[in-house]
Structure 1
Amino acid sequence: MSLVDVHNEWDPLEEMIVGVVDGARVPSPDRGLFALDYCDNVDSPEDIPTGPYDDRVIEETREDLEELAALLRSEGVTVRRPDVTDHSKPFSSPDWTADGEYNYCPRDVLLPIGDTIIETPMANRARYFETFAYRDLLREYFDSGANWISAPKPQLLDDTYNIRPADGVVLNDHEPVFDAANVLRVGEDILYLVSCSGNERGLRWLQRVLGDRYRVHAVRDVYPGTHLDTTITLVRPGLVVISPERVKPDQVPEIFADWEILWCPELVDPGYVWDYPRASIWQGMNFMMIRPDLAVVSDIQVNLIRELEKRDVNVAPARLRHTRTLSGGFHCVTVDVRRTGTLEDYR
């Protein structure tokens, strides 16, 4: 039986990958890194704070991830981890040279849908070979019966990226490019955020690969930044949390027409170590579901916890202290590989 079997974001969890922070660093500057992550905060690529993260950030995050893994295991979840990687090693294509970033956010790299796991064609050159840290797991999943595919490896030429474009389109449409975290699974419906980490050609590639069993819906013009899971968080059938800053009522995806919308309340800022954050305060709504009645939420987000509990969702509060520095909350640092349940239509 395939060890990969997941159809949504909430069915009871059986197996999950939790990231590691060892060796995390800011990559060497290039046009893509500047356009995607830093051009709002620094004047030029040379101002990107390249190098290892502060030791305190690494140690505290390692502790937080171990606590998360222990929490999941206490709920009967099989926890897997990627290999530790030396991200300082340079690598190149025929057109550019880069070095690595981290294995902190497996949600960005791998996209399980049904019994298929997809290595996605990521927008950031520094993360080009990040899936190699998961190869032992991917081989095991393949041998169990899962479909293991990789999207076309993008060239990521300089003209892929627009610096501070007037129309807000950072990522050009030359080839399929998207991060796995641009995608949320709602059974037969798949949401795909068109943003600086996911282009239109990537959306078309995903729909074509998934075939007629799935409906891939573009989420456009709500959030030009990177990933969808700091804007929309799925709780259970009929309940979704949405950022009121990024999504207007008339922009709510049509598949949620009959769902209860919990407009995310005011969030607590966890802070950051630089003069500016890598991620917004909306990392606070980046939580994940162990099952439909149990959410893992940052322990400082008391307003959100209260609103979830009002809706009969139990909360396991947990620490993740550097979400805005490392750009990843609980949904980002995990990827669910297997949940109980079957493919359903929730509309």
Structure 2
Amino acid sequence: MIVVDACDEWSPLREVVVGTAYGAMFPDEDPRMIEATMPREHWANFRAGHPFPSRIVDAAERELQALAEVLETLGCVVHRPQRVPWAGLGGYCAAMPRDCLLVMGNRVLEAPMAWRSRRQELLAYWPLLRQLRPSGARWLPSAVDLALDPHTSGPSHSGPWVIGEGRPAWDAADFLRLGPRTVLGQLSHVTNRSGVAHLRTQLGPGINVHLIQPDDPHAMHIDATLCPLREGLALYNPDRLDPTHLAGSPMDGWELVPAPSPEPRDHPPLYMTSPWVSMNLLVVDNQHVLTETRDEKLQALLGSYGMTPLALPFRNVQAMGGSFHCATLDLRRDRHRAEARNRDHRAISSVDERPA
């Protein structure tokens, strides 16, 4: 039985899905989408039937297995997707479960993704999803006609995005959870306004979905732009976000810390992301956060805020389009313990601040 109860990005992690790189293929997508979101030097790789280099896939699978083992040592129940032959299905991979599934409270929502190469990704997670009902979790399928192409069907979008509004489209990785009633997200090349309306309907009236708009012409997923570390503290990408953009948002009043600029790199190639994938962190609890081994400046910064970085090799997973946050899907976080710790912290702070 899988237990589902997670509504933020920082409470102690108790149950999680870790992806698999097995059979990873370069997505075959509309050229407009590739040119809008992918690094120019790698555009030619995005064609039908083209697998990622086997050395990168094999190394990424070892990195994901090491991540799963570390999380187990920290007390997490770890689930893995089943292996799917993506080459025969025109698919991508199941290394990034955070992209296609959104957990909010006891709900697990299927994202109606814009990329046609990702519309069968649910096959990898279906054996896990079948275990939800006995625990009382709610599975919410997208209920969207995915045969419609948001690029070509319906009215064009009035903004800078390559998808229109022909059908609702959103990626789960365009949204962050900030508490039991709050989701923060963005419009992007894979999330349109009708998709946000669809998400609001799926979540119900008790949950507020608040949009911000970072300065990112290649926007696709928010988790290399903002990274909540604990309630009231977050890293932000200074190349994409001015903290004043968060005024009036649920993060108004938070302490916002600029992430250090990532070091240039070329091996293995970042086929699908910018070097800012270094910000794609996984907070395990109020102390531990997973980082890539070579991101030493980021580790030092996290340490200065009282966190303990857990450094793991993850560059081959990053080559395929994401890092620790994307490669995991937290199913259960112990928010009640986190809330108790926050109350204790506030009480201690108020005592410390009393005049002598």
Structures share fold, TM-score greater than 0.5:
yes
- For 1:284 and 1:329, the matched residues in 2 are separated by 7
Counterpart in the other structure of 2:110: 119
- For 1:341 and 1:158, the matched residues in 2 are separated by 37
Counterpart in the other structure of 1:223: 216
Counterpart in the other structure of 1:67: 66
Whether the aligned pair in 1 keeps the contact of 2:28 and 2:46 (CA below 8 Å) is no
Call closer, same or farther: CA 1:38–1:256 in 2, change over 3 Å: closer
1:107 is matched with which residue: 70, 82, 98?
98
Cα displacement (A) at 1:233: 0.5
Counterpart in the other structure of 2:253: 258
Counterpart in the other structure of 1:138: 129
Q: TM-score normalised to the size of structure 2?
A: 0.86
Which stretch of the first structure deviates more once superposed, 201-210 or 177-186? 201-210
- For 1:321 and 1:283, the matched residues in 2 are separated by 10
Which blocks of at least 5 consecutive residues in structure 2 are unaligned?
343-356
- Mapping of residues 192-207 of structure 1, within 5 Å: 192-207=185-200
Cα displacement (A) at 1:277: 3.4
Whether the aligned pair in 2 keeps the contact of 1:2 and 1:115 (CA below 8 Å) is no
- CA deviation vs aligned residue, 1:222-246 (integer Å, no higher than 9, x gap): 3342100010001001110000000
> How many residues are matched?
333
Cα displacement (A) at 1:144: 1.8
Which stretch of the first structure deviates more once superposed, 143-152 or 25-34? 25-34
- CA deviation vs aligned residue, 1:150-180 (integer Å, no higher than 9, x gap): 113333427349xxx9952212112210111
| SS at 2:271 equivalent | coil
2:168 is matched with which residue: 166, 169, 176?
176
Counterpart in the other structure of 1:186: 178
- For 2:257 and 2:49, the matched residues in 1 are separated by 38
Which blocks of at least 5 consecutive residues in structure 1 are unaligned?
91-98
Counterpart in the other structure of 1:96: none
Cα displacement (A) at 1:192: 1.5
Whether the aligned pair in 2 keeps the contact of 1:308 and 1:314 (CA below 8 Å) is yes
Call closer, same or farther: CA 1:46–1:294 in 2, change over 3 Å: closer
Whether the aligned pair in 1 keeps the contact of 2:98 and 2:173 (CA below 8 Å) is yes
| SS at 1:246 equivalent | coil
Cα displacement (A) at 1:136: 0.9
1:291 is matched with which residue: 285, 297, 302?
285
Counterpart in the other structure of 2:304: 310
Counterpart in the other structure of 2:352: none
Cα displacement (A) at 1:211: 2.2
Which stretch of the first structure deviates more once superposed, 335-344 or 27-36? 27-36
| SS at 1:111 equivalent | strand
- For 1:147 and 1:319, the matched residues in 2 are separated by 35
- For 2:62 and 2:252, the matched residues in 1 are separated by 40
Whether the aligned pair in 2 keeps the contact of 1:240 and 1:261 (CA below 8 Å) is yes
- Mapping of residues 329-344 of structure 1, within 5 Å: 329-342=323-336
Call closer, same or farther: CA 1:249–1:152 in 2, change over 3 Å: same
Counterpart in the other structure of 1:22: 22
User: Which residue type is aligned with residue 115 of structure 1?
Assistant: N
Q: TM-score normalised to the size of structure 1?
A: 0.88
Percent of pairs with identical residues: 29
